[in-house]
Amino acid sequence: MDSSLPPSSAADPVVGQTVDNRWHVLRKIGVGAVGAVYLAERAKLGRQVALKLLHPEYLSNNEYVRRFAREARALSRLQHINCVSILDVGTHEQRPYIVMELVNGPSLSEEIGTPEMTTARAVALMRQVLDGLAHAHGHGIIHRDLKPDNIIVTDVAGVGEIAKILDFGFAHVNDSRLSQSNAQLVPGTPSYMSPEQAKGEKTDPRTDVYSAGIMLYEVVVGFKPFVAGDIAEMLQKQQFEAPIPPRQAALGRRISEPLERVILRALQKERDQRFADAAAFRDALDATPEGRDSARAQPGGRRRLPPYAIAIAVAALVLATIGVAFALHAH
């Protein structure tokens, strides 16, 4: 979440309150389908965080309450430098809330098409996204709403440029208590939705592979592979239309044939023809000339994260969250 966002123009009774005598709410910084996100700080300590509260109008909607619980459960399993970390959960005036680390920086969507988004930097950032996604897949979590708006590009002091995956509100968790969903509630964003999501079919890690393939195409080429006039047309294209090959779509950019093959494999309509999961996608990307070059490059003028720094950062996140009590209100 970006704390540099302007405050909401509308009066919000939550602003100024102290949630559970711990989290003092400063201002609203975002609104999503499931909840509102606020800039808050830890009482007495002053540490700033992002606090997400379920919209009050959804308290009587069991599906949305389950979705919110699903996000909390998903985030609580993740301890990875490329996934936003959870600090606390609870209930405030009957509204479930999640407290997350505050991530400052632009979304990946704001970086697409800028002069700084070179092919090397695009591949380096997407490699980090896939690394975080592989961690989620390893914990039985499918994101189901990957898109550039849900990726924040931030700078970590002494480490460099980091891509963080946010918003697991549509995540599917392998837990029979949380995996039920309303058939009328189709998860995902049409421009990044896999063919099986568009058909309302069961999802698996290859669903995220497809969405990540759309993102990789977009950051490398500069625009999405499919454009449509409405949602119905977009869903049809996701199911049946083949994308223009990246090297043909972006003649002015240097894109190797191996990188093009990786992108097009991720975008196969039949999921059996895609990479099995994010880890396989990441490894294939690393084997391309751009993947090898990005390991030596300094994307956006910043130093790429070395393996030992990743280990240190992950260890710090684990230590920071030890002892957190998860007390999400049962509905």
- CATH assignment of the domain containing 167: 1.10.510.10
Which of 45-54, 225-234, 284-293, 296-305 comes out lowest in average pLDDT?
Answer: 296-305
Give the residue with greater pLDDT, 325 vs 247.
Answer: 247
Q: Tell me: do 132 and 230 sit in the same domain.
A: yes
Give the residue with greater pLDDT, 176 vs 255.
Answer: 255
In terms of Cβ atoms closer than 10 Å to its own Cβ (0-12, 13-18, 19+), residue 81 is buried
Q: Tell me: do 161 and 86 sit in the same domain.
A: no
* Res. 169 pLDDT band, cuts 50 70 90: low
Question: Tens of pLDDT along 211-223?
Answer: 999 999 999 999 9
Residue 235 falls inside a structural domain: yes
State whether residue 239 is helix, strand or coil.
Answer: helix
Q: Tell me: do 84 and 153 sit in the same domain.
A: no
Question: Of the candidates 122, 119, 129, which has an alpha carbon nearest to the alpha carbon of residue 247?
Answer: 119
Q: Tell me: do 123 and 60 sit in the same domain.
A: no
Residue owning tokens 């991720």: 266
Give the residue with greater pLDDT, 160 vs 300.
Answer: 160
Q: Tell me: do 146 and 252 sit in the same domain.
A: yes
Q: Tell me: do 162 and 214 sit in the same domain.
A: yes
State whether residue 222 is helix, strand or coil.
Answer: coil
Cα separation, 305 vs 318, whole angstroms: 18
Main-chain phi, psi angles of 312, to 5 degrees:
-65, -45
Give 137's contacts (C-beta < 8 A, 6+ positions apart).
205, 208, 277, 278, 279
Q: Is the pLDDT of residue 199 over 70?
A: yes
Residue 187's pLDDT is 66
H helix and E strand count, the chain = 11, 10
DSSP state of 256: -
pTM above 0.95, yes or no: no
Which of 71-75, 169-173, 193-197 comes out lowest in average pLDDT?
Answer: 169-173
Work out the average pLDDT over 263-287.
Answer: 97
By residue range, what is the domain housing residue 151? 108-309
Residue 281's pLDDT is 97
Residue 11 falls inside a structural domain: no
Q: Is the pLDDT of residue 255 over 90?
A: yes
Q: Is the pLDDT of residue 140 over 80?
A: yes
Q: For residue 286, indicate whether it is catalytic.
A: no
Q: Is the pLDDT of residue 275 over 90?
A: yes
Q: Tell me: do 238 and 278 sit in the same domain.
A: yes
Residue 9's pLDDT is 40
Residue 313's pLDDT is 43
Q: Is the pLDDT of residue 124 over 70?
A: yes
Q: Tell me: do 292 and 179 sit in the same domain.
A: yes
State whether residue 68 is helix, strand or coil.
Answer: helix
Instruction: Domain count for the chain, please give it.
Output: 2
- Active-site option among 131, 145, 208, 277: 145
Residue 10's pLDDT is 54
